[in-house]
């Protein structure tokens, strides 16, 4: 390896929003993350919405009155060509 071209690889503390901390190695002395393996729904099996900007409420209010468009249409009548062929 060439000298002087590689970054410093140091011990790093990773801090999660849930309060969990763990050590790893990186080029930065500290990393802050929102979700880790302790609080992520894939690992915990619990559904958790991370809604920092009110996006879920905004989505629900926007599409609350819309309903399902496919249910409002109804079924199409069979085509005349299909009934004539039978």
Is pLDDT larger for residue 65 or for residue 30? 30
Distance (Å, whole) CA 40 – CA 47: 9
Q: How confident is the model at residue 10 (pLDDT cuts 50, 70, 90)?
A: very high
pTM greater than the 0.75 cutoff:
no
Give the whole-angstrom CA distance, residue 83 versus residue 86.
5
According to the model, what pLDDT value does residue 73 have?
61
Q: Which domains does the chain have, with CATH numbers?
A: 7-63 (4.10.80.400)
pLDDT digits (tens, 9 = 90+) for 14-59: 999 888 999 999 999 999 988 887 887 776 767 656 666 677 777 7
């Amino acid at each position: 390896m060439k000298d002087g071209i590689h970054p410093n690889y140091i011990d790093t503390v990773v801090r999660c929003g849930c309060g969990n901390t763990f050590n790893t190695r990186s080029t930065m002395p500290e990393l802050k993350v929102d979700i880790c393996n302790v609080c992520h729904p894939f690992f915990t099996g619990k559904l958790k919405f991370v809604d920092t900007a009110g996006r879920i409420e905004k989505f629900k209010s926007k599409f609350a009155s819309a309903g399902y468009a496919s249910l409002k249409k109804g079924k199409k009548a069979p085509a005349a060509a299909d009934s004539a062929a039978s």
